[in-house]
Structure 1
Amino acid sequence: MQPPDPVEIARQLEALRLEHRDLDDAIARLVMDPICDQLRLSRMKKRKLLLKDSIARLESRMIPDLDA
């Protein structure tokens, strides 16, 4: 198994963080709409949580394993 490529992981992290931030903005705008689509809002929030989990997984891959 190859060690993770830090440059590739950093690129993926940046893309996921950007999408997460964009989703956060879109959710905030949708919540302000008095006739917002609750199903769409729910799906966007679920996607945002999945992105957050993906970001956390990639960040943990950036931490080197230490032999005890």
Structure 2
Amino acid sequence: MNDGDDQAVRIELARLRQEHRDLDAAIDALTKLGNSDSLQIQRLKKRKLALKDRIGFLEDQVVPDIIA
């Protein structure tokens, strides 16, 4: 991976991490309301999980697993 690709991946990682934090805050806020839409919360949690998987994939791209 060259420096340009590496920088692009790091920018994408930062964006995805921010979106993940935003979803976490939204889920917490909806949950605290008590009378919130459970389907909406389920969709947000599913999106959050997909983001986590994508973040993990990109982190592996930036920091390759080194076998000692």
TM-score, normalised to structure 1's length?
A: 0.87
Q: Pairwise CA RMSD of aligned residues?
A: 1.9
How far 1:22 sits from its partner (Å)? Answer: 0.3
More divergent stretch after superposition (6-15 vs 56-65): 56-65
Aligned residues: 66
Question: Is 2:47 the counterpart of 1:47?
Answer: yes
Percentage of matched positions with identical amino acids: 45
Structure 1 stretches lacking a partner, 5+ long: none
Partner Cα separation in structure 2 for residue 14 and residue 42 of structure 1: 24
Give the helix-richer structure, 1 or 2: 2
Q: Matches of 1:58 and 1:15 in 2, distance apart? A: 12
Gaps of 5+ in 2: none
Paired residue type of 2:14: E
**For residues 9-66 of structure 1, what are the alpha-carbon distances to aligned partners after superposition, in whole Å with 9 as ceiling and x for unaligned?**
0000000000000000000000001211000000000000000000000000012476
Change (3 A) 1:65 1:31: closer
Matches within 5 A, 1:15-54: 15-54=15-54
Distance 2:44 2:25 in 1: 11
In the alignment, residue 59 of structure 1 is paired with which amino acid?
E
